[in-house]
Structure 1
Amino acid sequence: MPQSNTKQNVNKKLHLILCWHMHQPDYREYLNGEFVLPWTYLHAMKDYTDMAFHLEQHPQARAVVNFVPILVEQLQDYERQFKSGDIRDALLGMLNHERLDELGDEARQHILDSCFKSNHTKMLKPYRAYQHLFDLQKLVEGHGRENVTYLSGQYLADLLVWYHLVWMGESMRRSSELVARLMTKGSQFTYTERKELFDLIGEIITGIVPRYRKLAERGQIEISSTPYNHPIVPLLLDFAAARESEPNAPLPQASHYPGGLSRVHSHLANAVESHRQNFGTVPYGMWPSEGGVSRAALKLLAEHGCEWTATGQAVLANSLRREMNDNPLPGSSGYLYKPYLVETGGKPIHCFFRDDGLSDKIGFEYAKWKGDDAAADFVHHLEEILRNAPGDDDPVVTVILDGENAWEYYPYNAYYFLSELYSRLESHADICTTTFHDCVRALNDPDSPVTASKLKQMVAGSWVYGTFSTWIGSADKNRGWDLLCEAKRSYDIVMSSGRLNADEMRLATEQLADCEGSDWFWWFGDYNSAMSVASFDALFRRNLSNLYRLLKLPPPLELQHVISVGTGEPAMGGAMRRSEAV
């Protein structure tokens, strides 16, 4: 077991790092700039604004907010759309469409298909007027989809307004006169009212990045980053990394991803530059996409200026077992509650490891609790960790999870849970909220009560199960990788041929980067819902087809065939996953 230098510490404190990961894949159709799915702006309205609000209301509570660059790019795209009036998101555009009676059947069906996608228990059933619209939709659906022709423009208007109201953050519901007025009115919304709501959404989205930048500038939060388009870095570098944690994992037919090292450098360099432009400084560290790490990946993160990174608890357990020659880990979990200095073969990097149990409680359990009870339970677990912490060093507890996907399963978008949690943490005598950067900085102080252990081994893996099985290893996931590898080989040939001008090369490279994102492989799998798998499967194949078109090549016919079909009913709709199989 790696050893730490211990110091006398009679007043031990627990240092808590809350890291909220803000991420949406790129939902744009690159050939025309249209947004195919609305999740970026919906989560901006509901979650990114609420998460900023709670931090603003609790200035003594500190946290890390991890913004994926491709998410920030999409938020800025929406901001430009509002400023120009050229709306390239069909659902958002129809909210602002004056004469809904004139919509064709396809547009009407798009509204019906979109405007009931939410957690019905928390976001539909509490609102009688919205429930009434759902009941009418079911009636129409029962008489055949062609009956959308007979839906009135007023029905469509009310449905569009209600969908955007239920996706509105709780902080906006409590502060916006417009939102309160519309929710009270309930129906018969006018075009003027829809236009007011549309304009409010524009104001919300425009304010997201400045609000977080202000929180960072006053030192309350650290903003970290992720490789630009959220690729699984270890797999881009070497598919065989999957076998470090799963020796028998099936791999794609392709032996490796062509030019993966160069592509990783590009994602990292672009992320650092994007962060500098958007937040005024380079990031101190990165949460690698899905906590995906390997020794080679950590080496590259360090080369791009990262002083820290983080991953899942199971990765640490696997790495320590290898370091201890497969002997069992100690009964105490104290080994988890500290940073580690990892040797990479280059510049070392500090690595933090997620407390899976506490992170999953927020992600999956506390939505079923009263907010104050959930916050009290969370703090109680921290107190127990501190009470049982071995030695004299202060424990460091790392909690990492999505900053958006859990909250729709909570009452009131987790308003009471987050308010109570931050209040308790602000006032607690023995718990200090901190950031990764400040923790690393404290390690350089010889009198610091926080110390790091050295970790010589690093078993490649992710925060999900400690493996890469969520992204590679099944027939459909591997087929996705093989299709991507084929496209990348074509990309390499065309890019070296001189057939494309500079702008055409840039567009093709941006489209390739989108195809390399992790989300397509996340959603492949029969354990996911049919609707979600179908959406992401179609968008992945469309992205690959567009890449061929941008390369001035005909897309392979195989891209017309579905890769994966979902049949499952995963927790939280599949957008989140527990760190351990249950």
Structure 2
Amino acid sequence: MSYPLYVAFIWHQHQPLYKSYLDGEYRLPWVRLHGTKDYLDLVLLLEQFPRLHQTVNLVPSLLLQIEDYVAGTAFDPYLSAALTPTEALQIGQKQFIVEHFFDAHHRTMIDPHPRYAELYEQQQHNGKAWCLEHWSLQDYSDLLAWHNLAWFDPLFWQDAEIACWLEQGKNFTLSDRQRIYSKQREILSRIIPQHRRMQENGQLEVTTTPYTHPILPLLADTNAGRVAVPQMTLPTQRFQWPEDIPRHLRKAKHLYRNWFGCNPKGLWPSEQSVSPAILPDIAEQGFQWICSDEAVLGWTLQHFFHRDAMGTVMEPELLYRPYRLETPHGDLAIVFRDHRISDLIGFTYGNMPPRQAAIDLVGQLEAISRTLKSRQSGGVALDRPWLVTIALDGENCWEYYTLDGKPFLESLYQILSEHPSIQLVTVSEYLDKFPPTETLPSHQLHSGSWVDGSFTTWIGDPVKNRAWDLLTEARKTLDACPEATEENNPEAWEALYAAEGSDWFWWFGAGHSSNQDAMFDQLFREHLMTLYRALNKPVPDSVRRPVDDRIIPADCRPSGFIHPVIDGQADPQDWDRAGRIEVGGSRGTMHQSTAIQRLWYGVDHLNLYLRVDFKTGAKPGVSLPSELHLFWFYPDRPVAISPIPLENLPNTAPLNYSYHHHLGINLMTQSAWLQEAVESNQWHSRMTRANVAFGDCLEVSIPWADLSTVEPDWSLRLLVILANNGSYQNHVPNDTLIPVDVP
């Protein structure tokens, strides 16, 4: 019997609890704004292609907040400002508006709208103080309108009212802003019914997540952090409350039945985090399947997944199948996502032309099918029903796509609707036809998440650990009040559940940062304050103080993929997730003199990116050497290497190392040349598609395809040298190399 390649898309829709129980106000607007841009349109687009089936995960904390906005009982500071007459705006509100009403990816959500872009340019080029001094009340009114208009998904632009506002462009009134808010609520009101309708007709499967999106393995025992990282520094106090797990699961299941009229079959464990300890509770609550990441499967099988030069898994029969997990309360199925393909959608395809990206994704699936066929006994069709799981965040990535991903998804869905050998399925309909035949011993399941198969994103950092200690103290206080049950003191328990959510720990400490870091810190502590007050207990001083001291290290590793436009303009949004190395003035008097002040570096699946900030006014050939050279070192890789081909080179590390790739850049002409080491310490020229721009800074992108010997998941080290006409001047970093991980 022959089979198509089955593909299960799982879109994860989530927002943490932004509502503070201290005063009932929402602190941040992301449920409302993402609700008008990312939840309804995703399934409306799918509905146009009835042959395609998908799975959408809707987190209870998200849906509860959507219901609040639909009911008109949810207000956040952004919404309150938008509904305030401009003549009544206080100076504090104006400062807030100038600071936060451009919180969007400007290239896709601000720049396409001339009036919004005009105001953004004034804020960027003239400064916030200038705006406060010079903006008219009409400027504020237009900004208040556009901050909301820009979040309407392009799928809704044909709506008569929205089309009228977009054409109007400026001179918005309070009445306009009120009607924009009404349109937001109208769109939000359609989200749950649309998902229910599509699930009932079989095109969609809706799954759920533990109530407030907690990391279940860490609720069971924070020592789970040491499974992947044995030397992890844990919080001072051990959090060990496994009884909270069934509480989160029961609440999620109960709410799901209210919204969708049936029991959920699938569970998306928060952050795809799993461990043996959580499986019995999940099975006991009646869930039939869960999902996690290929890294968790790799750790479980003690197997590292290899990929070929195109990124295709070389052991596909291990990844592209469901597994059975046996528990005392029945069996669970588990599927593991293809991490790379999921990341391509989440972080890379938005930087490509939409149709090209769609074709590339289909090509990735076709490559998997070819690899599977090559490993079977014969035949031109698949002889087994393999399942490729693609699972990712369903909201945040679209902000970086042209027209919020609409052209990409339309192209992708059109191709897949007509594809003869790829079939999109929900996870449950696949499992109903093809139950798992391979068992993973439950006790061997790795304890980890979708981030490197570990929990380091949520625990182990000093700041994250402080937050866990605060949570542990609050949980002990609640436990010491047995009279405070969920029935007679729901406020205390709801505050606990909110504080147990994963998002606060994500933003604490190193690794992630945003324009709302301080607010996430405040929200976490407000949930704890609510718990203490509900128990009539004094709020500890430690809960009143910020968890994070807000000190940002001078140097940092990349916190995510980046997609900068190479124009030499140093756009802050382009490099906000990049790694950074401070050079000039940050290393003390022993650091060598150099015109370079700062290095930025990062990657996506297409390119390696580098940005070099020079001293103000530095000019190539005058106050700055005329050339910049990049050298790639591949530790523990069997590649040809050659010495650095520059004159007057000191015989010191790392200058006396040998390297495999060399990109030279003429800073005066912005031309580039690429060399690759070959045998006998020689360098041979290679074609390069490196993109170079020198303006406010130097920005460079080097396609991974140029570095032809590099394979996925390799690590490399990078050295930057300044030279004049082939003669060494200086290098950075001074005594080490820049570490880069190939995606």
TM-score (norm 1): 0.89
Do 1:245 and 1:460's aligned partners in 2 also have CA atoms closer than 8 Å? yes
**Corresponding residue of 2:231:** 248
Of 192, 210, 213 in structure 1, the residue corresponding to residue 196 of structure 2 is 213
**Does 2:405 correspond to 1:414?**
yes
The offset of 1:46, in angstroms, is 0.5
For the residue of structure 2 that corresponds to 1:353, the secondary structure is strand
For the residue of structure 2 that corresponds to 1:28, the secondary structure is coil
For the residue of structure 1 that corresponds to 2:23, the secondary structure is coil
**Does 2:11 correspond to 1:20?**
yes
The offset of 1:492, in angstroms, is 1.5
For the residue of structure 2 that corresponds to 1:222, the secondary structure is strand
Matches of 1:318 and 1:370, distance apart in 2: 36
The offset of 1:32, in angstroms, is 1.9
Higher relative contact order (CA 8 A, sep 6+): 1
Deviation larger for 427-436 or 512-521: 427-436
**Does 2:325 correspond to 1:342?**
yes
Unaligned runs of 5+ in 1: 1-8, 324-329, 445-450
Do 1:528 and 1:566's aligned partners in 2 also have CA atoms closer than 8 Å? no
Matches of 1:376 and 1:530, distance apart in 2: 33
Q: Structure 1 residues 424, 68: closer, same or farther in 2, change over 3 A?
A: same
**Corresponding residue of 2:335:** 352
**Corresponding residue of 2:648:** none
Alignment of 1:118-129 (within 5 A): 118-129=104-115
**Corresponding residue of 2:560:** 571
1:470 maps to amino acid: T
The offset of 1:240, in angstroms, is 1.9
More helix by share: 1
Q: Structure 1 residues 504, 89: closer, same or farther in 2, change over 3 A?
A: farther
Matches of 1:182 and 1:320, distance apart in 2: 56
**Corresponding residue of 1:180:** 163
Q: Structure 1 residues 52, 322: closer, same or farther in 2, change over 3 A?
A: closer
CA-to-partner distance for each residue in 1:207-228, whole Å, 9 max, x for gaps? 1111111111111000000000
Matches of 1:305 and 1:21, distance apart in 2: 21
**Does 2:440 correspond to 1:455?**
yes
**Does 2:56 correspond to 1:65?**
yes
Matches of 1:502 and 1:245, distance apart in 2: 35
**Corresponding residue of 2:423:** 432
Matches of 2:256 and 2:468, distance apart in 1: 29
Do 2:486 and 2:493's aligned partners in 1 also have CA atoms closer than 8 Å? no
Do 1:87 and 1:93's aligned partners in 2 also have CA atoms closer than 8 Å? no
2:515 maps to amino acid: M
| Percent of paired sites with the same residue | 36
1:129 maps to amino acid: R
Deviation larger for 86-95 or 421-430: 86-95
**Corresponding residue of 2:434:** 443
Matches of 2:421 and 2:314, distance apart in 1: 24
TM-score (norm 2): 0.70
The offset of 1:151, in angstroms, is 4.2
**Corresponding residue of 1:135:** 121
CA-to-partner distance for each residue in 1:509-565, whole Å, 9 max, x for gaps? 101100000001111122322534222112212222222222222211112333233
Alignment of 1:216-231 (within 5 A): 216-231=199-214
Do 1:534 and 1:566's aligned partners in 2 also have CA atoms closer than 8 Å? no
CA-to-partner distance for each residue in 1:376-408, whole Å, 9 max, x for gaps? 111111111112114431210000001101000
CA-to-partner distance for each residue in 1:97-120, whole Å, 9 max, x for gaps? 3x2211211222222232100001
The offset of 1:190, in angstroms, is 2.0
Matches of 2:342 and 2:314, distance apart in 1: 21
1:117 maps to amino acid: D
Unaligned runs of 5+ in 2: 305-312, 377-382, 562-575, 578-602, 606-712, 714-740
Do 1:105 and 1:149's aligned partners in 2 also have CA atoms closer than 8 Å? no
**Corresponding residue of 2:67:** 76
CA-to-partner distance for each residue in 1:25-81, whole Å, 9 max, x for gaps? 000011221010000110000001221221122222110000001100000011111
Do 2:68 and 2:74's aligned partners in 1 also have CA atoms closer than 8 Å? no
**Corresponding residue of 1:301:** 282
Matches of 1:578 and 1:566, distance apart in 2: 27
**Corresponding residue of 1:232:** 215
Q: Structure 1 residues 140, 548: closer, same or farther in 2, change over 3 A?
A: farther
Alignment of 1:101-120 (within 5 A): 101-120=87-106
2:450 maps to amino acid: W
**Does 2:179 correspond to 1:196?**
yes
Do 1:284 and 1:308's aligned partners in 2 also have CA atoms closer than 8 Å? yes
2:509 maps to amino acid: G
**Corresponding residue of 1:6:** none
2:81 maps to amino acid: M
The offset of 1:332, in angstroms, is 2.1
Matches of 2:416 and 2:303, distance apart in 1: 36
Matches of 1:335 and 1:509, distance apart in 2: 42
**Corresponding residue of 1:326:** none
Q: Structure 1 residues 143, 350: closer, same or farther in 2, change over 3 A?
A: closer
Q: Structure 1 residues 37, 341: closer, same or farther in 2, change over 3 A?
A: same
Of 314, 317, 320 in structure 1, the residue corresponding to residue 295 of structure 2 is 314
Matched pairs, number: 547
1:348 maps to amino acid: D
For the residue of structure 2 that corresponds to 1:160, the secondary structure is helix
**Does 2:137 correspond to 1:153?**
yes
**Does 2:535 correspond to 1:551?**
yes
